[in-house]
Chains A and B, each alone.
Chain A
Amino acid sequence: MAVSFGTVTRKTWQTAASIKTGVVLLILVVILAAAGTVILQRPMTEPDDMQRAYSPSALRLLDAVGLTDVFHAWWFIGLMILVSLCIIAASIDRFPNAWRFYSRPYKYPDGTFRRALHPQKTIAIADEESGLVAAERALHSIGMKPERVVREDHFGLFAERHRISEMAVYIVHASLLLIFFGWIVDGVFGWRGTVSLDEGQTSNVVELRDGTKRELPFALRCDAAGQENYKDGTPKKWWSKLAVVEGGQDVKSKEIVVNDPLVYKGVRFYQSSFGENGKVNKLVIAATPNPAYGAGSVSAAASSGANSTDKQEEIAFTLGDTANLDADTTVRFAEFFTDYAVRDGQVYKRSNELGSPAAHLIVTAKSSGKSFDVWFPQLDEVADNSKAPYLLEPKDLKLGHFTGLQVSHEPGQWGVWSGVVLLGVGLAFVFYVIHMRFWAVPVRDERTGLYSLWIGGSANRNRDAFEERFNELIAAIEKEVQPSSSLAPSEQIATASTR
């Protein structure tokens, strides 16, 4: 039993580590991800559009298997985990060999290796020392640092560059795992939501995507928000002045725009929308005593007599405010409609959008107890604009704004971004950093007793370019050897190079 269990484990391991499994999994990911872009996805589509696009039975089926939300379906996440496991298994499986290769560089090539290596070259030399010195000089001249390898009865030269390149692919795989890890952390501990703040409003409640609310340990206040337009009327910039309030104190403030969020304690606030909230920030009116008023009211007539008729008073107020026009008369800002309609002597709100706005003010004379409805614009069916003790005239209307903020908390971000940086570094190493090795071994021909120098080179990629480099090195060594090569007859060179 133990043996078969062991076999099963080994088989599983081999399957997980094989490139075939990896490719099959990747193909599955590709197919399912593509399906997720072709089939409408619930998180990005209005429910109505979903129902319009698919028949009820098809929609039920798609919902049941999770194809309407592929990227959050358990099987897709499971697949991603399998891919991660596969990367881990493949890396662990291959790593020991690569590590041995990396940690114990092969410095002295044996006969078998020397015969099989390409490129290689043999040059006639006068003696071992002069040959090695020539090779050392040539290697130095191309920027390599050769070392002498002495082993029992053998010795030779070894030079290498960018050994790290052998590890590059593991850097890439590790960085992918790091990105996955950060992403999973975000999926488990992160959240996203929205906050909508009116100017001046403070809130610490975020509405999450699933409709639940989340309280933050600090509150956010919007001091101002605005929009700038291009000349053609398309929006150029949305901005909001935000302040973070914690323990009753302002701890941070920033003007955010799209692309430049406010970050506090790992929670990020992004500008996402802006608009009018249907409220009035400020209404400015001008009041002039009404000369036609006063037939019945002595005090009003007296007061209007006391003041010159051309005296105009400007009053600014917000909704619900009451202001005194004189000792006896007050005006209250009673109602505001973003979009009004009048029917049967009543004013209705037609919509919450800013269409045709209307303001309702009530002027009250205390002594007579009479009130007058003043409307801007003057709605004849309901307004007493001309009967009121004062003639009111609208001067300015400032509407309130809201700023729509996206809020997100992504604690796994550090993993993602460090993974991305590592991925970039790893790929640079994989593709552009080449592990180059050179060996030089002096060989003595048993028959003739003459010396020659065997030189070999190896590169882990871009071998054609490396061969050119190798040939340049050979030329340099031959040049170094030249002065003493007059000692060696040319036929020996031929013998040496054809061996």
Chain B
Amino acid sequence: MSRANAEQQQPATTGTTLIVFVGLAIAFLLFMAFLNVVKSGNVLNESNLLFAALIFYSGAGALYLGFGVTGTDSYVKFASLATWAGLLANTGAVAHRWYEAGHPPFASVYEMLLSFVWTLAVLTLIAEKKYGVKVIGTVTMPVAIVGVVLMQLLRTEVHPLVPALQSTWLHVHVTLAMLAYAACALSFALAMMFLIQDKMQTETFLAATGVSTLAIYASIVLTRFEKGGLSLVAWSVEEKREVFLSKGIRLFVVIPDLGWLILLTTLVVAAPLALYALARSKKDDSYLAIANRAVFISILLQIMTLVLFLLRAREGAYPSLDADGLFTTSLAASPFILSGLVGGIFISLLYLLLLWRRPDLERLLPDANSLDRITYKTICIAFPLLTLMIAAGAYWANQTWGSYWNWDPKETWAAITWLVYAGYLHMRITRGWRGRRAAYFAILGFGVVMFTFFGVTYLLPGLHAYA
């Protein structure tokens, strides 16, 4: 039913979607440009290079999306040109950082993101040129964009290396980690494409989109909803860091009314999921058509939420529940809420792309079998890298902390990642798991990687405090 609907809409929507996408991309860039002008500085500095990288990556992302929508081959040429240009600017930023800091950029979350995005861009180009997976940028470029946006917000000052980080093993360990994580990201993108190519039902993607956006918004509401307002970490503009009430306890400010909007968006992003459940239980596909419309509405609402969030959280002073007076906040104080909001929009847009242009996408991608094989090969590269990364980390820990294994959360989660991929390899090699189940496994693996990279750093305390 939805399929028929989508096909009827096709001629009309192709152009419109493209315009919507490009328009969004431009609005996004202008906003970032605005942010950047506020910062200002001399011309060829790191933040400008990064900004150039952001523009090129965004352009590449838009072009890859455009290629996905229209199937025009010239788009992909320009998209990879833009990726090259972005990579060049990114390399410049890495080099600048390296030169200024006197050590490779691996010492903080910001620096590691810099390296991660660089590696991801390199791998995207390799996957495109070597394996012919042309639309891989549709998935990896948004990841790169989110990475660069996060970088703009996280602190950027060069910090000297604390004694524990002054080791060659730091470089070995982090290089391996970045390579491994980028390979995992690639395997995730390939697994997603496999699912598209494997004629997986659009409804299943609908459910997945619903679950992930709902998870993003529900976690924001559950942790930050405060009497109709949205609770954010206070940010000291002068010191460029979060404000602490006492050791380890952050001061939160409440932006009034924004909480209601987030709550409303949560309900709206839950609607497609509810309609999907209804369609499944009543075995009536007409609900799915409504669900697809609901996704569209939810995107509009999500964009509105993002814009309002950007406008209100960027600056301004708000009251706090824990202390008297007004306190300032900044986007830099809430990088994860911001990337959650941006990520939710990307996920929903990807679903719309899939819904409207599925036959074209299927035509443009390599066949399911080769995607399955390339996913496996990517994991065959990622797994030894993960192993070596953990080993190098253990060796280094042994020299610094006096023990090769401390069960620190980051270590534990790295081990969990390793186990998940080991499980994948065993199921594939000895049980002959191919195709869809293997693809789910690859997606799960990347989820764990992301949690290890970001989640552990920000949610769980431990020795790895600097990363």
Contact = CB atoms under 8 A, between A and B. Distances in A.
Interface residues of B, number: 48
A314 to B, nearest CB: 36
B458 to A, nearest CB: 13
A26 B423 contact: yes
Interface in A1-26: 19, 22-23, 26
Nearest to B462: A44
A54 to B, nearest CB: 15
A431 B403 contact: no
Interface in A233-258: 234-238, 257-258
B380 interface: yes
Contacts of A19: 426-427, 430-431
Given A406-B401, A406-B402, A37 B160 contact: no
A200 interface: no
B383 A431 contact: yes
A312 interface: no
A129 to B, nearest CB: 40
B300 interface: no
B404 A416 contact: yes
Interface in A130-183: 183
B422 to A, nearest CB: 7
Interface residues of A, number: 49
Interface string A9-50: 000000000010011001101100110111001001000000
Contact of A38 (B387, B404, B430, B460): B460
Contact of A424 (B163, B391, B407, B422): B391
Interface of A: 19, 22-23, 26-27, 29-30, 33-34, 36-38, 41, 44, 70-71, 183, 192, 230, 232, 234-238, 257-261, 268, 270-272, 406-408, 410, 413, 416-417, 420, 423-424, 427-428, 431, 462, 464
A27 B391 CA distance: 22
A6 B120 CA distance: 55
Contacts of A236: 160-161, 163
Q: B interface, by DSSP: helix, strand, loop or mixed?
A: helix
Given A192-B403, A272-B402, A257 B163 contact: yes
15 contacts: A23-B423, A27-B423, A30-B419, A44-B462, A183-B405, A234-B160, A235-B162, A235-B163, A258-B163, A258-B164, A259-B396, A271-B163, A272-B402, A420-B391, A462-B377
A364 B57 CA distance: 81
B383 A427 contact: yes
B402 A407 contact: yes
Contacts of B423: 23, 26-27
Given A19-B430, A26-B419, A238-B163, A260 B399 contact: yes
B216 interface: no
Nearest to B164: A258
Contacts of B373: 464
Given A44-B462, A464-B373, 20 more contacts: A19-B427, A26-B422, A30-B419, A33-B416, A34-B412, A37-B412, A235-B162, A238-B163, A258-B163, A259-B396, A270-B399, A271-B163, A272-B402, A416-B394, A417-B395, A423-B387, A424-B384, A427-B383, A427-B384, A428-B384
A23 B420 CA distance: 10
A23 B403 contact: no
B204 interface: no
A144 to B, nearest CB: 24
A413 B401 CA distance: 14
A41 B460 CA distance: 11
Contacts of A22: 426
B45 interface: no
B8 interface: no
A230 B160 contact: yes
Contact of A23 (B162, B380, B387, B427): B427
A441 to B, nearest CB: 29
Given A19-B430, A258-B164, A464-B373, A37 B402 contact: no
B290 interface: no
A234 B162 contact: yes
B416 to A, nearest CB: 5
B166 interface: yes
Nearest to B413: A37
Interface of B: 159-164, 166-167, 169, 373, 377, 380-381, 383-384, 387-388, 391, 394-396, 398-405, 407-409, 412-413, 415-416, 419-420, 422-423, 426-427, 430-431, 456, 460-462
Given A19-B426, A230-B160, A407-B402, A71 B407 contact: yes
A232 B164 contact: no
B420 A30 contact: yes
Contacts of A41: 407
A183 B163 CA distance: 27
Contacts of B416: 30, 33-34
Given A36-B407, A37-B413, A261 B160 contact: no
A92 to B, nearest CB: 15
Contacts of A270: 399-402
B419 A427 contact: no
A428 B409 CA distance: 28
A230 B400 CA distance: 20
Nearest to A71: B407
A230 B160 CA distance: 7
Contacts of A261: 399, 402
Given A26-B422, A36-B407, A37-B413, A259 B164 contact: yes
A292 B332 CA distance: 66
Contacts of B387: 423-424, 427
A413 B420 CA distance: 26
A270 B403 CA distance: 10
A413, A420, A424, most chain B CB atoms within 10 A: A420
Contacts of B395: 417, 420
Nearest to A37: B409
Contacts of B460: 37-38
Nearest to A419: B391
Query: Which of the listed residues A27, A44, A235, A428 has the most CB atoms from chain B within 10 Å of its own CB?
Result: A44
Contacts of A420: 391, 394-395
Contacts of B161: 236
Ranked nearest first, the 10 interchain pairs of A and B with the lowest CB-CB distance are: A258-B163, A37-B409, A406-B402, A71-B407, A230-B160, A408-B402, A270-B402, A259-B167, A427-B384, A420-B391
Contacts of B461: 44
A37 B405 CA distance: 14
A406 B383 CA distance: 33
Given A34-B416, A37-B460, A236-B160, A258 B166 contact: yes
A238 B395 CA distance: 20
B121 to A, nearest CB: 25
Contacts of B383: 427, 431
Contact of A431 (B380, B415, B426): B380
A48 to B, nearest CB: 12
B278 to A, nearest CB: 32
Contacts of A23: 423, 426-427
